[in-house]
Amino acid sequence: MQASENTNDDFLFIDDSDGNESHEEISGDAWKVLIVDDDPEIHSVTKLALSDLIVLGSPLEYLHAYSGEEACKIVHDNPDIVLVLLDVVMETDDAGLNVVKHIRKELDREDIRIVLRTGQPGYAPEESVIKDYDINDYKTKTELTRRKLVTTVYAAIRSYQQINIVSNNRKGLEKVILASAELLEFHSVQDYVQGVLTQLHSLSHSELSLFCARGHGIVAKADDLSYYILGQQGASALLVNQKLDTLKNDQASRVVNNCFIQKQHYFSDECAALYISSGGYRAAIYLQLNEPIPELDRQLIEVFLSNISIGYENVHLFQKLSNAAYKDLLTGLPNRLQFLSLLDDFCQSDNTDMVAALIDINHFSDINDGLGQEVGNQLLIAVATRLKEMPGECALARVGADVFGIIGPARYVSPESILALFHHPFIAGEQHLPANACVGFCKQEHAGSRGVKALSQINIALNLAKKERTTSYGYYKQEMEDKTLWRLGMIRQLRTDFAENRLELWYQPQLMLETGKVIGAEALLRWRRTDGKFISPAVFIPLAEYSGLIIDIGDWVINQACQQIKHLEAKGFDDVGISVNVSIPQFRQDDFVDNIITAIDKHDVESSKLELEITENVLMDEPQVIIDALEKLKAKGLSIALDDFGTGFSSLSYLQKLPLDRLKVDRAFVTDIAKPGLSIIADTIINLGKQMGLTVIAEGIEEIEQEQHLKTQGCHEVQGFYYAKPMPMDEFLEYLHSHNANG
C-alpha cells in the first residue's frame, strides 16, 4: 500500500512553538532513537523537528528503519536504543504491531519506550494491545506538532531513564541479597573476610582490597593495637594476618586509620574505606579504585555493608562457639571432636605415607596426685608446646586428659621422633619433670573408612603398647583388632552362659601319699558351651578377670563348694574337704571376707572343710591387705593353702606372715623330679614346708617315679593325672567309694 497517499503530511510537525523552548547543557552520551516508517519523508521531517533537542543533558542519535523486518534487526543489534517512533501500517497493516511484539516478547526488552504513529486517523490498535505491550503513546501524524512531538519524546525518554534506574536498583539489590546470602555459608573469620572482598570487587571494581581489623583476639600472638590484614584481593596472600604497615602503602594506612577514628565511610576518586561495626566487632575495608564509585553503587555498597557488619559479628560468635566445641582450652590444641574430623580426612586421603598416633603420658595421675593439678596442667602445656616443635606439617590435638593425637608424614610421626621428645625433662612451673609415654600408631593404608574407626584402631595399638615391657609403642595391625573382637565376643558369651548356669565345678581328688586315702578335692571351673565343647580355663579365667566377671563367678564357686561339702556329708564322707582358688580381683572387694563367712553360715558348713588357695601373684598386689583378710578367715576356721609357690617373686618374709595350713609344690617343679639333679627346688620347698609346720601337697603327679621320689622326701599329699583327672561331682562320689574304705 502507499503509506502517504491519503494523509495530511503537509500539516505534519507544524511549528507551534512559542519561541521560548529551553535547551539543556550537554553532559552525557546521546539517546538512541529508532525511527521506523516506510515513508522516507517522515524520517527527514521527524529528525528536523527534533533537531538540537537535549533531553536530560544528552542529545538524540537517530537510527532509521523502513520496514518492520528491518526494525527488528536494528533493535536486536543495538541494545542501547531507548525509544522507537514506530509507524503502525507499513508493508502490512499490522507490521508495526509485529515489531512491538518482537521487542517485548522475542527480545524481552521491557525498558525500550515505544510511540506508535499512523497516518490513517481511523486506524488505531485495540486498547488491550496498548496495555499488553506497554506502548508509551499513540498519535496520528496530524496530531504531532513539533511541541507535541518534543513533549512525547521527552516523556518517553524520562520514562526510560526511570525504568532503567529502577531496574538497576532492583538488580543491584538482588546482587546484594545474593552476595549476603552466600556469605552466610562461611563460618570462619578468614573465609568470611575473603568472601566479603570477593563480593565487593564485583560492586566496586577495585584493583586492590584489604580487610583490616585490630589483631588482638583474632590473629595468633597479636597482643598490640595495630591494624592487621585479615584478607586481601589484588595483593600477596603472604600479607594475610600481617600488620597493615607491612604493605608499605601510606595511603592505605592513613585512610584505614581515619576510618576507624571517624567511624564512618570515606570515598574519593582514587580510594575508599568502608567502616564496619556490630556488637563491638569493628573493621575497615580499604579499596584502591580504578574509577570513582557511582552514587548508585555507593548506596548499594552501604546496604551490603549493613548486612556484612552483622555477619562479621556472627562469624566471630560462631568462631567462639566452634573453639568451645573443637578446641582444648588448656593447650589451645584441637580437642577430641576436632581430632575425629582430622582423622576423617586422614582416612579419605590418598597419601599412604601418612600416619596417625596417640601419645599417652605414663603415670600422669601420680603427678596430679603428688604435685597438684596445677603442676599437672603445666606439664600438659609443656608437652603440647614440645609437640608443636615437631618438624613437618603435623596436625596435633589433645584427645584425652593425658593423651595427645598427631597426624603427619611417616618420617616425622615415628617412634623415634616422638619418644625423643621425652628424653629431656619438661618445665612445669618451678618443677623439672621427667616424663615418658606410650604411643600407638596407625598407618593410613591400615586405617578404616572413618575417623571413629581409625581412633579405635590407634587405641588398640596404644593399649597393647602399654602392656609391652620391651617397647613402649605399637603399630596397629588387623590381627590386633581380630583378637580384640574375639575377646569381646568370648566375654559376652561367658556372661550369657554364666547367667544360664552353663559353668560347672569339676573336682580333682587329693590323696594322702602314704595311704592313698582321698582327703579332699580341688574345685576346678569348667565352661561347657551350648555345642557341648569345653573352653579351657587358661582361656576364660583371664577373660573373666579382665571383664570383672570373676567377682560374681568367685562368689558362685564358694557357694557351690559349700553345697557340695554338705552333699558329701550327706553321702557319708565327713572327712573330705574342698579347696577353691581365689583371684586378686576377689581380694580387692571390701566385702570379700564377709561374703565367704556368709556362704559358710548360709550352708551350715564346717569352716575347716573349705580351703582357699592363693597364688604368689596375689601377694604381689597388696600384701598386707591380703594377710589381714586371710587372718580373719583363718580365725573363722578356714584352711589356707599357698599355690604355685616358687614360681612368683614373693618375699620369704611374707611367707612367714601368712596364716597358712598347706604349701603346694607346683607341677613345674614336679615334672622332672625323678631325673638326676632336677629335684632340688621341689625338695627344698618340701623341706621348707615341713620346717614351717605346714602340710605339703605336690600337684601334677603323672608317673610312679615321681610318687616314689616324693615319698622319700616326706611329702604329705598329692594330686595329679596319675591318680585321677578332674571329674564331675557324681564321678567324684564314685571315686570316693572305690578309694576310701569308709565310703
241: nearest Cα among 214, 201, 260:
214
Buried b (16+ CB within 10 A) or exposed e, 601-621: eebebebebbbbbbbbebbee
What's the pLDDT score for residue 557? 96
Cα 214 from Cα 282, distance rounded (Å): 8
Q: What is the DSSP string of 58-112?
A: EEEEEEEESSHHHHHHHHHH-TTEEEEEEES-SSSTTHHHHHHHIIIIIS---SS
Mean pLDDT of the chain: 86
When pLDDT is averaged across residues 182-201 and rounded to a whole number, the result is 76
Give residue for cell 528503519: 65
What's the pLDDT score for residue 430? 85
What's the pLDDT score for residue 743? 42
Starting from the edge strand earliest in sequence, which strands make up the sheet with 266-267, in order? Answer: 242-243, 227-233, 206-214, 281-289, 271-278, 266-267
Cβ neighbour number for residue 532 with a 10 Å cutoff? 6
Give residue for cell 586422614: 346
Cα 670 from Cα 673, distance rounded (Å): 5
Contact 724, 509 (CB under 8 A): yes
Say yes or no to pLDDT of 19 above 50: no
Cα 232 from Cα 288, distance rounded (Å): 12
When pLDDT is averaged across residues 116-142 and rounded to a whole number, the result is 65
When pLDDT is averaged across residues 424-446 and rounded to a whole number, the result is 92
Lookup: cell for 79: 541494545
Say yes or no to pLDDT of 304 above 50: yes
Cα 696 from Cα 641, distance rounded (Å): 9
When pLDDT is averaged across residues 488-509 and rounded to a whole number, the result is 94
What's the pLDDT score for residue 21? 46
Lookup: cell for 279: 556488637
pLDDT band at 461 (very low <50, low <70, confident <90, very high): very high
Say yes or no to pLDDT of 518 above 50: yes
What's the pLDDT score for residue 221? 72
- Identify which has the larger pLDDT, 57 or 351: 351
pLDDT band at 147 (very low <50, low <70, confident <90, very high): confident
Cα 570 from Cα 573, distance rounded (Å): 7
What's the pLDDT score for residue 151? 84
pLDDT band at 126 (very low <50, low <70, confident <90, very high): low
Cα 716 from Cα 697, distance rounded (Å): 6
Q: What is the pLDDT of residues 524-554, one digit of tens each?
A: 999 998 888 899 999 999 999 988 999 999 9
When pLDDT is averaged across residues 313-331 and rounded to a whole number, the result is 82
Starting from the edge strand earliest in sequence, which strands make up the sheet with 54-55, in order? Answer: 54-55, 58-65, 31-36, 81-87, 113-118, 137-140
37: nearest Cα among 47, 28, 29:
47
CA distances from 81 to 32, 73, 114, 396, 599 (A): 5, 12, 11, 64, 108
CA distances from 701 to 505, 670, 697, 710, 717 (A): 21, 7, 11, 10, 11
- Identify which has the larger pLDDT, 204 or 672: 672
Q: Which helix (H) or strand (E) holds 645?
A: strand 639-645
What's the pLDDT score for residue 132? 64
Spell out the long-range contacts of 259-265 with Cβ–Cβ below 8 A and sequence spacing 24 or more.
Answer: 259/284, 260/227, 260/284, 265/302, 265/305
Cβ neighbour number for residue 371 with a 10 Å cutoff? 16
When pLDDT is averaged across residues 647-664 and rounded to a whole number, the result is 76
What's the pLDDT score for residue 6? 39
What's the pLDDT score for residue 26? 60
What's the pLDDT score for residue 171? 58
3-state secondary structure 372-394: CHHHHHHHHHHHHHHHHCCCCCC
> Which residues, including other chains, have CB under 8 Å from residue 644's CB and lie 6 or more apart?
615, 616, 617, 664, 666
pLDDT band at 166 (very low <50, low <70, confident <90, very high): low
What's the pLDDT score for residue 741? 55
Lookup: cell for 36: 521506523
Residue 658 phi/psi, 5° resolution?
A: -75, 135
- Identify which has the larger pLDDT, 141 or 123: 141
What's the pLDDT score for residue 734? 94
Alpha helices in 389-450 (DSSP H): 415-420
Contact 437, 362 (CB under 8 A): yes
Q: What is the pLDDT of residues 223-276, one digit of tens each?
A: 778 899 999 988 888 899 999 999 999 999 999 999 999 999 999 989 999 999
- Least confident among 152-166, 223-237, 562-576: 152-166
Say yes or no to pLDDT of 353 above 80: yes
CA distances from 530 to 380, 496, 497 (A): 51, 11, 8
Bridge partners, 380 (sequence order): none
Cα 660 from Cα 658, distance rounded (Å): 6
**Residue % of the chain over a pLDDT of 90:** 53
What's the pLDDT score for residue 136? 67
What's the pLDDT score for residue 335? 93
Cα 600 from Cα 209, distance rounded (Å): 88
Cβ neighbour number for residue 702 with a 10 Å cutoff? 14
pLDDT band at 167 (very low <50, low <70, confident <90, very high): low
Cα 553 from Cα 561, distance rounded (Å): 12
Q: What is the pLDDT of residues 364-415, one digit of tens each?
A: 999 988 889 999 999 999 999 999 988 878 999 999 999 999 999 999 999 9
pLDDT band at 3 (very low <50, low <70, confident <90, very high): very low
Q: State whether the Cα torsion 322-324-330-336 is positive or negative.
A: negative
Residue 541 phi/psi, 5° resolution?
A: -65, -45
N residues, the chain: 743
CA distances from 561 to 565, 602, 664, 727, 735 (A): 6, 12, 20, 14, 18
Residue 445 phi/psi, 5° resolution?
A: -65, -20
Give residue for cell 600408631: 441
Instruction: Tell me if residue 12 falls in helix, strand or coil.
Output: coil
What's the pLDDT score for residue 259? 94
What's the pLDDT score for residue 7? 42
Q: Which helix (H) or strand (E) holds 587?
A: helix 584-587
> pTM score, two decimals?
0.55
One-letter identity of residue 329: L
Enumerate domains of the chain plus CATH numbers. Answer: 9-168 (3.40.50.2300), 184-326 (3.30.450.40), 336-476 (3.30.70.270), 490-739 (3.20.20.450)
Say yes or no to pLDDT of 558 above 50: yes
